[in-house]
Amino acid sequence: MAVEIIDRLEAVVGAAHVLRSRASLVSYAVDATVGYRGEPLAAVFPGTAEETASVLQLAREIGVTVVGRGAGTSLSAGAVPPKGSIVISLSRLRRGPYIDREDLTVRAGAGVTTLEVQSAAKAAGLFYPPDPSSQDVTTMGGNAATNAGGPHALKYGVTRQYITSLEVADFSGSVVTYNRGTAGEMMVDLMIGSEGTLGLVTEVHARLVPAPEGYRTVTATFDSAQTAAHATVDLLDTGVIPGKLEFMDDVSIRAVQAARDRGLSLEIGALLLIELHGDRESLSRDGAVTLESLRNSGAENVRDAVSEGEQRRAWEARGAITSSLARLKPGKIGEDICVPRTNLPQAVDRIKKLASERDVLIALFGHIGDGTLHPNVIYEPSSKSETAAARDVLGELARIGIDSGGVLSGEHGLGLVKRDFVPYAWDWDTIRAMRRLKREFDPAGVLNPGIMWPDESERNSDLWDRG
Ligand SMILES: Cc1cc2nc3c(=O)[nH]c(=O)nc-3n(C[C@H](O)[C@H](O)[C@H](O)COP(=O)(O)OP(=O)(O)OC[C@H]3O[C@@H](n4cnc5c(N)ncnc54)[C@H](O)[C@@H]3O)c2cc1C
């Protein structure tokens, strides 16, 4: 059967575009989520939207599970293929990015990276704001599928606010284009954030905005994460909306310093990194308000980073957190809860207390300005007790997000990681409705069926143990 499936895939995309050996599939068995590993039968690389649709039609016909894949940077185990499944990589769909300066839009194949779109927009004097911190490798298709956010989300919004139309390969073997506007609006919005469970995005059309005229970076240190959270609320209460407002706690600072000396003192309790966007006049006005607000809110050391080098170093430290956490312990599993701004101090306080009560290491960082917090539980995977404690704490972190009036995922998606916690956020009637909706798009139930919406009768803890 397996040989027959692969032969039929090769007939669609060509033998050169199918991987089948165990060694060649190693990197397709995982995404960026530590502790989750699948076991695909093959990985297939369609070269066009039509080939993608044909692969989907074939999967439906033979009843084999398929998992769409962009760059594999998911942090919620959204692209981990179940045993015997086929990975469909969209990485060859690399047409564009084509910028239309008149219409202020961009068109890009699903495999084009976010950075390529941002750079093309910049070269045209324009700006594509969605900026997941993985932007140099992450794909436009993956960003659409997860509704990716990033530091710019506070001022400019997330991927959904930019996508105007999507080309999608579906199970009927068709390629359809959903445009925003009356009837299409709903289809575009259904596809965005559906994590590859309804169809595969083959091309993305998005709008662009004028680039900010200038930037100003301010950093502020605090004695504790709680003080920094209060300072965030105070700053946003002044009416200043920074282009970025990012947060690192003491554990995150320790991790990035352990990876490389970035001149950050280990005495710092928390750090806020702020980037203001605007013209000369607004930068001056907002800068003055920001400095005063931070000082009044208990900041210990406020720096107006004037030199480009200083600004770059500050943002490099923020960008290095995820990759540096392994310096503390090899196991890492994270949430990306998103809570209303006014509840940030309470949520941060509960997370810090949880870490000390349970004696677990939690690194806390995130796009605090828009309420997105990334509490990452750091643990030793070879220790059964630490792994079990990490799993328990992960559930409690999800509850803190919901209790604080927030959502399970601000940007990474539900994937396998948050699937078990979905009942904390929605009642079973709603979950059943979502499962029915999926069946309408994917009647054979073969498109990434294990993620997002739990079934009342099953849990995914076996995957957690497999790591
Ligand atoms: C260091 C690091 C920093 C990160 N920072 C951020 C951040 O700031 N903000 C943020 O939002 N995320 C962030 N992420 C998470 C991740 O980068 C995003 O979720 C990203 O959008 C995933 O894109 P991808 O191309 O890697 O997709 P993948 O990881 O390959 O897939 C993600 C999900 O989308 C589906 N999928 C992929 N491509 C398609 C397609 N063409 N059509 C349909 N479904 C598809 C997959 O099946 C899977 O469910 C970060 C990850 C890392 C490793």
pLDDT digits (tens, 9 = 90+) for 196-242: 999 999 999 999 999 999 999 999 999 999 999 999 999 999 999 99
Q: Which atom of ligand 1 is nearest to the CA of 151?
A: 8
- Cβ-based neighbours of 362, under 8 Å, separated by 6 or more: 251, 351, 352, 354, 355, 375, 376, 377, 378, 393, 397
Q: Are 373 and 348 in contact (CB under 8 A)?
A: yes
Q: Which pLDDT does position 4 carry in this prediction? A: 87
Q: Residue 150: CB within 6 Å of ligand 1?
A: yes
Q: Are 256 and 315 in contact (CB under 8 A)?
A: no
Instruction: Give 63-119 pLDDT, tens digit per residue.
Output: 999 999 999 999 999 999 999 999 999 999 999 999 999 999 999 999 999 999 999
What is the percent of the chain with per-residue pLDDT over 90, rounded to a whole number? 87
Q: How is residue 365 written in tokens?
A: 């960082």
Taking 90 as the threshold, does the pLDDT of residue 19 lie above it? yes
448 CA to centre of ligand 1 in angstroms: 14
Q: Where are the domains of the chain?
A: 2-89, 98-210, 213-325, 329-418, 419-466
Q: Which pLDDT does position 461 carry in this prediction? A: 47
Probe target for ligand 1 pocket from 30, 44, 45, 75, with the most ligand atoms within 8 Å of CB: 75
Q: Residue 32: CB within 6 Å of ligand 1?
A: yes
| Least confident stretch, 61-70, 369-378, 422-431, 448-457 | 448-457
Q: Whose C-alpha lies nearest to ligand 1, atom 7?
A: 132
Using CA atoms, how far apart are residues 340 and 424, in angstroms rounded to an integer? Answer: 17
* For residues 444-467, average pLDDT: 70
Cα→Cα distances 90→63, 140, 377, Å: 21, 10, 31
Report the mean per-residue pLDDT for the chain.
93
What are 87's strand-pairing partners? 43, 67
CATH topology of domain 329-418: Alpha-Beta Plaits (3.30.70)
User: Which residue reads 């962009």 in tokens?
Assistant: 70
* For residues 274-293, average pLDDT: 97
- Closest by Cα among 365, 352, 358 to 323: 365
Taking 60 as the threshold, does the pLDDT of residue 444 lie above it? yes
Q: Is the domain covering 213-325 a CATH 3.30.70.3450 domain? A: yes
Taking 90 as the threshold, does the pLDDT of residue 294 lie above it? yes
Rounded to a whole number of angstroms, the distance between the first and last alpha carbons of the chain is 27
Instruction: Give 309-360 pLDDT, tens digit per residue.
Output: 877 888 899 989 988 998 899 999 999 999 999 999 999 999 999 999 999 9
Taking 50 as the threshold, does the pLDDT of residue 255 lie above it? yes
Q: Which pLDDT does position 306 carry in this prediction? A: 66
Describe the strand order of the beta sheet including 200-207 as a list of residue ranges. Answer: 98-100, 105-109, 200-207, 163-169, 175-179
User: Which residue reads 């200043």 in tokens?
Assistant: 240
237 CA to centre of ligand 1 in angstroms: 32
Same fold, 213-325 and 329-418: yes
Per-residue buried b or exposed e for 124-150, using 16+ beta carbons within 10 Å of the residue's own CB: bebbbbbbbbbbeebbbbbbbbbbbbb
Cα→Cα distances 362→288, 354, 358, Å: 34, 9, 10
DSSP 391-454: HHHHHHHHHHHHHTT-BSBSSS--TTTTGGGHHHHS-HHHHHHHHHHHHHH-TT--BSTTSSS-
Q: Which pLDDT does position 459 carry in this prediction? A: 52
Which CATH number is correct for 2-89, 3.30.43.10, 3.40.50.1820, 3.30.70.600, 3.30.1300.10? 3.30.43.10
Which CATH number is correct for 98-210, 3.40.91.50, 3.30.930.10, 3.30.465.10, 3.40.50.720? 3.30.465.10
Probe target for ligand 1 pocket from 45, 55, 74, with the most ligand atoms within 8 Å of CB: 74
Q: Residue 252: CB within 6 Å of ligand 1?
A: no
Q: Which pLDDT does position 467 carry in this prediction? A: 35
Q: Are 114 and 135 in contact (CB under 8 A)?
A: yes
